[in-house]
Amino acid sequence: MKILVVGSVAYDTVRTPFGEATEVLGGSAAFFSVAAALFADVRLVAVVGEDFAEEHLTLLRERRGD
């Protein structure tokens, strides 16, 4: 099965009673594509800015997102 994911990939700021994390990989398309890649061949279409970290692109690519 092949899945094409189109949606948002963004940076999130996560605040909890225990602390805060900034520039965490987020967005519904990012979460869905990583999860779906466990079961299917996934391609991700999303727009990101020039400041999007290479480490996050690498993570998405390693999870079979293209």
Q: Determine contact, residues 24/63, Cβ cutoff 8 Å.
A: no
Query: Would you kindly state where each structural domain of the chain is located, as residue ranges?
Result: 2-62
Burial 11-29 (b: 16+ CB within 10 A, else e): beeeeeeeeeeeeebbbeb
Enter the pTM of the model.
0.79
Per the CB < 8 A criterion, the answer to whether 44 and 5 are in contact is: yes
Quote the CA–CA distance of 6 and 40 in Å, as a whole number. 15
Q: What is the pLDDT of residues 48-61, one digit of tens each?
A: 999 999 999 998 88
pLDDT at 4: 96
**What is the model's pLDDT at position 66?**
55
pLDDT tens-digit series, residues 6-49: 999 999 999 999 999 999 999 999 999 999 999 999 999 999 99
pLDDT of residue 64: 66
Cα–Cα distance for residue pair 14/46, rounded to 1 Å: 21
